[in-house]
Amino acid sequence: MQRLAQTNKQFAKDTSYNGGAIGPKRDDDVVIIGMARTAMTRAKKGPQKDTGLESMLRPCLEAVARQANIDKALVEDIVIGNVLMPGSAATNARMAMFMAGYPETTCVKSINRLCSSGLQSVATVANAIRAGQISVGIGGGFESMSNAQMADQVNPNLLAEEVFECEAANNCLMPMGITSENVAAEFGVDRATQDALAVSSHKKAAAAMKAGLLQGEITPYQTTVKDKDGNETRVTVDKDDGVRPQTTAEGLGKLKAAFQKGGTTTAGNSSQVTDGASCILLARRDVANSLGCRIIGRIVGFSVAGVPPKVMGIGPAFAIPAALERSGLQMSDIDIFEINEAFASQASYCVKKLGVPAEKLNPKGGAIALGHPLGMTGSRMICTLMSELERTQKRFGIVSMCIGTGMGAAGVFERE
């Protein structure tokens, strides 16, 4: 891989996307012209527990077209990430598109790269724009963890015997909580470190919520909630409901290990199980300019990296350097790091390994406080990153997460 990377450097890349250098604005830049997300609410308990995926995605699709003030017929393709539903909920995505007022000429597909699906969908649209397949497209993700079970994704009784004879293949079946324990044990991430990151996540999220920063990202919509007797109530979904401002290290220290006797991964230092949807509207710069759209920023790099499945959480420590190299940037150039807190063990390891300054990490809190709707997370993090870059008038940011079965993904973005 290193030889291939060195060989690639010998060829000039006439692009600002994975081009190996940050250059001036170009007509073929892939730019963001709209972004939206729902609130992230607790699975099986929150206001979206009875909401279909198509109804979650609809307000986001409506919002991005409204932000950009474009004719929906100009959107040529929509790519939506989903992890838990059969077929990655491709039919639900198409339904949502029609419900949001897009014409039949707009196309849709769904993808599944597990926890990076929302980011991968944006990168997939960016690749299509860069390749000249389309000029305007939407990438996003949605997940109803209320109505699906992670444990149902693979039936071991249907697997070939060879899977169990190949250690790496067999490790792909390892529960995510056990991979967290593996990271903690192998890399020396103790319980106190994990709980400290969790406390910090909640405190930052609480401060952001109090200042109205999180609400500024959210597209409110109405849905129906059923009680245990089947009675229906109309509610407005407009607030992330997982943030616990009173979280303390002392309180977290009382929680028992959730996955392994004597372990250090608990419900308090793991990401929350939540529901939600988000999407990002992308276009070629010259097309965006011709339409009079306000440009929010551009994507300048994307990379995925493979790691051992049994310590899948270390993925960002490898994907981020790769994405930076493809962007022509250094760690010191990045103003904000949005690194998904799947588990405090893996997030703590990646932050230490990369040398991410505390003040640049997840300034509005991360998944431990806000939640991790698997297919939504990547595109939601772009909303969070770009709004914070705008608010603070900073320039560069990264979105990154680990991926089950042993991978990491990272995207590099520049504010306009």
* Catalytic positions: 115, 402
Write out the two tokens for 280. 């990002």
- Owner of token pair 């320039």: 395
**Terminal CA-CA length for the chain:** 33
d(CA 135, CA 286): 9
Q: What type of residue sits at position 78?
A: I
Left if phi > 0, otherwise alpha if psi is -120 to 50, otherwise beta: which for 88? left
d(CA 377, CA 315): 16
- Owner of token pair 């012209």: 33
The DSSP bridge partners found for residue 41 are 275
278 CB-near residues (< 8 Å, 6+ apart): 35, 36, 37, 38, 60, 118, 140, 141, 142, 376, 379, 380, 382, 383
Write out the two tokens for 7. 């060989």
- Is 37 within 8 Å of 216 (Cβ atoms)? no
- Owner of token pair 């010191």: 332
d(CA 175, CA 334): 33
How would you classify the pairing of strands 77-81 and 136-144? Answer: parallel
332 CB-near residues (< 8 Å, 6+ apart): none
d(CA 20, CA 124): 19
- Is 210 within 8 Å of 8 (Cβ atoms)? no
